[in-house]
Amino acid sequence: MKAFLDKDESAIDVIEEPKSYAVTPSEMKPYDQKRFYTALIRFEQKPDNAYNIFNDLVTNYPSYISLALNRFAAKITWAKNENNKRLFQEALQQWEAYEKDTLPELLEFVKGKILYNILTVKLHLKDYKGFDSVYAKLDKASALIVDYVELRVISLLDRKQVNEAKLIVDEAITFNTYEGNRDEVLLNLHNKLKKKTSSAYKVAEELKNHLSSKHSLTEHLKESFLKPDDFGKNVSKEISQSIHELLSKIKSIDKLKDENAFNDLLEILVRTNLKNYGLTVKDQSRGGYSQEGKDAGERDLTVLEGTQELAIIEPLNGMAKKGVQSHISKLFNYTSKRQYLFIVVYDYGVSNRLNERWKKYLDDTLLSHTYPKGYELINNSINDITEELGFKNDALRVAMTNHGTDTELYHIIANINYKAQ
């Protein structure tokens, strides 16, 4: 991970592959993991080379949607660099062929990334009718995210539809302001469109140059996601977003009272999302000690980079103080590598009292708990990061606590009954 963040191919090359390792046929082998990160490094400067690596990896690991997405994005970058319409067309055709052989349920949870790539192709091919059709598939919130708004504005300005471009930018600013986000790109775009001296052509060209100079959406997300200072928060956001999507899509959620049923669903979503960053998720591996310290315990979800364990995710039902504290103790006993730990609590209380239960969780459950020696809660400090992660008006609550020298414990509460209120 460090070698990738440093953009150091030679550091990746010298990493020794384990002489023995256990992977299932569908899991990426250490050698191919190195190739994956090499392709990411080459993504911007050598997209044709990156594409060839991703293409080979997709052939060997077709179940990894992230590889197909990266192959798609790499070929788009290659096409943009050469201004080659044929490459754009091939990129889209190859993705559509892959999509036909992939379960729609799995693609649904990376829908935004897929549509961004398709919109980029449609824009460069000047297929505006196709662009509008694809853009209409975005939900309202996604359609107003700056990355999609930029593409939409370019397509409108190319067609001299300046007033429509102004409207979408103003709507996006209003939406993002309501969500607590002040986006300078949108504000600058608003000011440019407002100027009478600004021609549609000039603004569109400036936007195109801006998009060409920044990372693709997929690549930018990977690089920022893996930074050690942000990794814990980023995983928390992926877990929370997975739960958000789960709650919005599963109609019979009230019937899933079994913790393992939730875990199965959560694992599918988190695994799909984290594959985009070269990470894998395994469920309920035997390891560590139970809370009583007598028998081997079961850790629920483990996040790995290759064979290296990065994080543990422990889901449980209910916010009962004793149960939560027991699970927190289990988390610290799961592994000797305790830098990033996550506890996911499924809350079945009425939604209009969620804030009350959340406050009790923070002020009582966490502060009164006796943590393992050497992993005490630092300064009794609890950081509520719900709004920071973008879940201000949601059924989710997220907090972070620091323990010992470098352990970050993230607490994610999901109110299961929020739709019924």
pLDDT in tens, 170-214: 888 888 776 555 667 788 878 878 775 556 667 666 666 655 555
Pair 279, 304: CB distance under 8 Å: yes
pLDDT in tens, 216-234: 545 555 666 777 788 999 9
Q: At CA 249, angle to CA 244 and CA 253, rounded to 5?
A: 85
Rg over alpha carbons for the chain, rounded to the nearest Å, is 23
Arithmetic mean of pLDDT, 137-160: 87
- Tell me the β-bridge partners of 202: none
Query: What pTM was estimated for this model as a whole?
Result: 0.60
DSSP state of 329: H
pLDDT in tens, 263-310: 666 777 787 778 767 788 877 544 444 444 433 333 478 888 766 788
Confidence of residue 124 (pLDDT cuts 50, 70, 90): very high
What are the φ/ψ torsions at residue 261 (nearest 5 degrees)? Answer: -65, -45
Confidence of residue 20 (pLDDT cuts 50, 70, 90): low
Residue scoring higher pLDDT (319 or 305): 319
Pair 204, 160: CB distance under 8 Å: no
Pair 88, 79: CB distance under 8 Å: yes
Pair 30, 18: CB distance under 8 Å: yes
Residue 241's pLDDT is 84
Buried b / exposed e over 35-58, threshold 16 CB at 10 Å, is bbbbbbbbbbebbeebbbbbbebb
Amino acid found at 219: E
- Give the start-to-end residue ranges of the domains of the chain: 2-219, 228-420
pLDDT in tens, 328-373: 988 887 766 678 999 999 898 888 899 999 999 999 999 999 998 8
Which residue intervals of 101-227 are DSSP H helices? Answer: 104-108, 111-124, 128-135, 140-143, 146-158, 162-178, 184-194, 200-213, 217-225
Say whether pLDDT at 320 is over 80.
yes
372 CB contacts (<8 Å, ≥6 apart)?
A: 329, 332, 333
Residue scoring higher pLDDT (198 or 132): 132
